[in-house]
Amino acid sequence: MSDLPFTFNLPLPHVVPSRVDNHIERRLSAMRGQFLDEAAYQEMLAQDDRLIYEVYEVKRPEVSGEFLMGVSIVHPGKVGSEFFMTKGHFHQVLATAEVYYCLRGEGYMVMETPEGEACVEALIPGSVLYVPPRWAHRSVCTSRLEDLVTFFAYPAEAGHDYGTIEQQGFRKLVVEGADGIQIVDNPRWKVD
């Protein structure tokens, strides 16, 4: 891989990077156990294995000193009352941060520490979000029509730990209630 500086673009309206080394598609079937309403999940899956989100990655060597960058696109939709979202993860090297820049759409970043401190930040175009070291993170799209599109950059050695979140989800959920978008406690969540 070249060590020369390089430039790429995020051309509107689709914001797919002009340089892409890897394209990840995560469908409903890859999100088993993540949405609270299991019956709604099964019903939706029986109809169609919907595309929930995509990631376009710009690869670099996964070593200290490098950054990994890319674009995350969460599509609009809900499972039961819960909005479409990414799986979410801690970084394997827990003490690594991440920066997100919202390019399109509306949504939230749901975050928490291993000790159970929780934080939910709104994302609208132009928002820059700093996810400090040790905070797990999940993007949630709350627009009915538009994708939530974010650019991200994080230390290349960080890695992904999905297992912890797979077990109990995040402490906070983003749902559509009678009065609109609500951030509620996850009844399945607990600290071990």
Site string for Ni ion, 9-48 (x = CB under 5 A): ----------------------------------------
Site for ligand PA5, residues 65 to 94, rule: CB under 6 A = 70, 72, 86-89
Q: How many helices (H) does the chain have, and how many strands (E)?
A: 2, 15
* Interaction partner, residue 142 (ligand PA5, Ni ion, none; CB < 5-8 Å by kind): none
Nearer to Ni ion, 123 or 175 (CB): 123
Backbone phi, then psi, for 79, in 5-degree steps? Answer: -110, 110
139 is a contact residue toward ligand PA5 (CB under 6 A): yes
137 is a contact residue toward ligand PA5 (CB under 6 A): yes
Nearer to Ni ion, 15 or 68 (CB): 68
Which residue bears the tokens 């609109």?
A: 180
Interface with ligand PA5 (CB under 6 A), residue from 35, 36, 83, 98 = 98
Residue 39 burial by CB count (10 A; 0-12/13-18/19+): exposed, middle or buried?
exposed
Which residue bears the tokens 């029986």?
A: 46
C-alpha–C-alpha distance, residues 32 and 171, integer Å: 17
SS3 category, 177? strand
The structure tokens listed for 19 are: 């340089």
Nearer to Ni ion, 96 or 142 (CB): 96
The structure tokens listed for 63 are: 């070593």
- Write down the least CB distance from residue 91 to Ni ion, Å: 6
Backbone phi, then psi, for 57, in 5-degree steps? Answer: -105, 140
C-alpha–C-alpha distance, residues 136 and 159, integer Å: 12
* Interaction partner, residue 139 (Ni ion, ligand PA5, none; CB < 5-8 Å by kind): ligand PA5
Interface with Ni ion (CB under 5 A), residue from 98, 106, 112, 147 = 98
Chain contacts with ligand PA5 (rule: CB under 6 A): 55, 70, 72, 86-89, 98, 137, 139, 152, 154, 160
